[in-house]
Chains A and B, each alone.
Chain A
């Protein structure tokens, strides 16, 4: 009964006119971001973060979440129709989705991806609703050593799962942790690495750094290949998948939802990994694996369900442990902290209307996207033809205004530009920005818990190995660090 009352409370928050509007706004902006290749969801959330300061906390979170799952929907639309994935989580969708579109079955592919996403998104939200409070209660017994171990394991896993070299990801993680130490010492309040610059005394701002690394750097990277995008047109007939399509897709959607949800909980770019794993699984269990890549509907339904379920799953560690597991979740944490709300084990108990309102808004948002996406596909495709010569300057201008509007501080614009250049250069040599931003947010948590643990144990490091949860996490960390070395040896 408790659950029902909570869900009712949630809907009473999510269905207020203002919050409905923010949910709608978030979903639309998210779809837009997913459709347009110039800007990813991380950049968009970073940009809109600056506009959420004056909002109610619930509205802010609802809108930002809308962007996140909206981008998953939007990304699949362009993957299928024009073979340009708007964001990485829908790269897999283009394998079979675009083939289907070329065979004149774009409607079925779009339809199944929208319905699949809706079903998976809803299942994911239900999972989040059940699991987050449980985990939150368990986390109440966590002390500093557990938190330290969690951050270490999380960051190692993110590096382990990163697309390129693990060493490069570990370097980005360390640099991010160092960036997190700028400003005041979280325990003693002493100043570090500020060099007399007033803005740096409060630490490097999350928004300028994220917008530099993801917004500016992405546009700069696109500027190197200007004029090389070619777009093919596909005709869309009949958006509804037929009965056979449904029969083929039902199990992939179910499997994709479960896989996606649990992979989403793990640190790292959950939706991206979930979509790849789901594709691999579908191919393995299929009776005709050789047909994958030629336009099989299972190859669309599974990954699309998986990436949407993963978005729901990825909220769990943040909302119940207070530990973000990806760049986007780090930004969400920033959004909550700006309003003075500390996500963590007490979050659900202390702010029930915020938690349940947020959950309810995800149901509402998923339904909105279903309604929004199917009839409006034509408009999204037309938007894709917005000339980049207008699009890129606009994105840059919005970044400039967005950062300035935070604190009316010109220094933050300069910080954003510096990180834009750094992000661009790092991309050129194969370093990713995501581990950096995540580490920068986790840095203070990690440092505080490390120093407190050592105070408790009087300088004895065994405290991290004798407590059961810590020991398990540390063994996991060691395994992630060592396994690439082992596989490298075996190859030779």
Chain B
């Protein structure tokens, strides 16, 4: 816990510096007439201050907090696979259309979260895709991309 907190503090301090630099390229104005860059610059300084405070606090504290067990590697794989699948959905949604993308994304998500029989996964994904299409496109009237299936 302690090491990751220190790492976070350092990253945040760096981020504060970056934001301050970016904010300094906007017009600051003056205290009398504050302009666009005024508020973000103040916030960047605050962020730097709080990050340093976090680092100081963490250094002072003895590492007594009993850390729960670290995340196992298979959990990391599950999480990455889930995220990759969702990113894929965003990328193909408008070309493949809602129905096809939903079917594929459910197929992969169901497998990513727990390995199970393909026949079951295909059936489930199909049902979920059709039901959600009915729910969103028909009942709720949400405009959804038609894509190559043109429905």
Contact = CB atoms under 8 A, between A and B. Distances in A.
Interface of A: 51, 54, 165, 167-168, 170-171, 174-175, 177-178, 181, 185, 188, 190, 192-193, 216, 219-220, 223-226, 388-390, 392-394, 396-398, 400-401, 404-405, 408, 410, 413-414, 417, 420-421, 424, 428-431, 446-447, 450-451, 454-455, 458-459
10 contacts: A190-B27, A192-B26, A223-B82, A224-B75, A396-B86, A397-B105, A404-B144, A424-B79, A430-B1, A459-B30
A393 B32 contact: no
A384 to B, nearest CB: 18
Nearest to B81: A223
A458 B82 CA distance: 53
**Which residue of B50, B51, B89 has the most chain A CB atoms within 10 A of its CB atom?**
B50
B134 interface: no
Given A397-B132, A400-B86, A450 B47 contact: no
B32 A421 contact: no
Contacts, number: 147
A178 B109 contact: no
Contact of B47 (A174, A394, A397, A421): A174
Q: Which secondary structure dominates chain B's binding surface?
A: helix
B83 A420 contact: yes
Interface residues of B, number: 60
Contacts of B43: 174, 177-178, 181
Nearest to A458: B32
Contact of A168 (B22, B46, B54, B71): B54
B128 A394 contact: yes
Contacts of A224: 71-72, 75, 79
B117 to A, nearest CB: 12
A431 B9 CA distance: 12
Contact of B34 (A405, A420, A451): A451
Contact of B89 (A168, A394, A400, A446): A400
Interface of B: 1, 4-5, 8, 12, 19, 22, 26-27, 30-36, 38-40, 43-44, 46-47, 50-51, 53-54, 57, 71-72, 75, 78-79, 82-83, 86-87, 89-91, 93-94, 102, 105-106, 109-110, 113-114, 116, 124, 128, 132, 136, 140-145
A458 to B, nearest CB: 5
A135 B139 CA distance: 41
A489 B118 CA distance: 60
Nearest to A461: B31
A224 B80 CA distance: 11
Given A181-B43, A224-B79, A171 B86 contact: no
B39 to A, nearest CB: 4
Contacts of B116: 389
A429 B4 contact: yes
A430 B90 CA distance: 29
B78 A226 contact: yes
Nearest to A182: B40
Given A171-B12, A178-B19, 4 more contacts: A167-B50, A226-B114, A397-B102, A417-B86
